[in-house]
Amino acid sequence: MILAKRPEIDRFLKAPDPAIRAAVIHGKDRSGVAERAEVLCKTVTPDLNDPFNVTVLTDSDIDGDETKLEEALTAMSLMGGRRLVRIRLSALKPGVDKAVAAALKIHADGGYNPDAMMVVEADQLGRESALRKAAEKENGAVGIVCYEDETGDVARMVREALAADKVGLTSDALDRFVARLPRERGLMRQEIERLALFIGPGSGKTLDMDALEHHLGVEPDASLSDAALQAFGARPGPAQAGLRRAFAEGESSVLAVRSAAIHLGKLRRINILQANGANAKEAAKAAGVFWKQEAEMLRQARSWRLEALDEVLDSINTADVATKTTGMPDQLIAERLLLEIAGRARRLGL
């Protein structure tokens, strides 16, 4: 079965058909793929880190030993209830594509644990992909294609996210803000969150065009953005100096970690767009790169490939949790994160 229209995708993700045992979610916007996969996964189990009911596999796991996937789909829950087998694929090799497709066919037909849900996340799969063909053909499976959000979808996302914080934008300000947003969901969410913080969560305020222009024109976290740029460029000294300057300006460690995540998201977006045929300048523009930083970002993107970015993302997520934990040395955690990133960048040859 194929799902491509937003309303039908949303309905399925929130309340999937019990007869569906496998879903393949793929598209150019990897953060949009991950966001939709998480919604679906939480219908199986609310705790996606549950060691008893959740198994996460990557293409490297499957490429090294194809039996791992079969074992994960066959395993029964030790605690009772449904199991989740989450498969995250990046650079999909033909062998892995065929192996996952073969397992999906068996599982969709009930050949493995019928109480297990198989959720696959991948970059956009071509028509020749065995995995895509299997997901779209099998009765017990579904293939979900994630296209770039249209302007109306983005506007709805902004309205809903701001409304959750009890703030809003006038109609002309909303149009202006939507036009300025990058088209990758992860970056969009971060920019919307930053806008909500600027307005004041819970304040009930509605921002007009003039106030929005002030927000768009003044970058209160410029030092943090520069610190992230320096870290990913293998310059630990300037990164550390920029971070300390930001702290002196009153910025928080939480925003410091978020700036690193935003920078990583832009590098990931550039990688994905170029892999799908975009030229360097087109990729940088679509990723929301400031024109003055374009040359440096493209230099970094040539060394920071997707697998290396995924490894750093794990460190960023860990730091994000730690900086929000009471009693932790949050500024030191943020500083260590940037130094770790700079060290990794240096080892990549930057």
Tokens 């949303």 locate to 10
Which amino acid makes up residue 239?
A
**The model's pTM:** 0.59
* pLDDT confidence of residue 189: 84
Structure tokens at 159: 């309205």
Separation CA 28–CA 26 (nearest Å): 7
Residue 157 reports pLDDT greater than 80: yes
Dihedral pair phi/psi, residue 252, rounded to 5°: -100, 160
Choice between 215 and 298, residue whose per-residue pLDDT is larger: 298
DSSP category for residue 292: G
How big is the chain by its Cα radius of gyration, in Å? 21
Give me the chain's average pLDDT, please.
89
Query: Is 142 in contact with 23 (CB distance < 8 Å)?
Result: yes
Structural domains in the chain?
A: 2-146 (3.40.50.300), 151-217 (1.10.8), 222-347 (1.20.272.10)
Structure tokens of 336? 């260590």
Q: What was the pLDDT predicted at 220?
A: 46
Q: How many CB atoms lie within 10 A of CB 200?
A: 13
Cβ contacts of 45 within 8 Å, gap of 6 or more: 53, 54, 81, 82, 84
In this predicted structure, what is the pLDDT of residue 326? 73
Q: Which of 77-81, 217-221, 227-231, 272-276 has the lowest mean pLDDT?
A: 217-221
Lowest mean per-residue pLDDT among 14-28, 138-152, 206-220, 331-345: 206-220
Cα separation, 140 vs 22, in Å, equals: 7
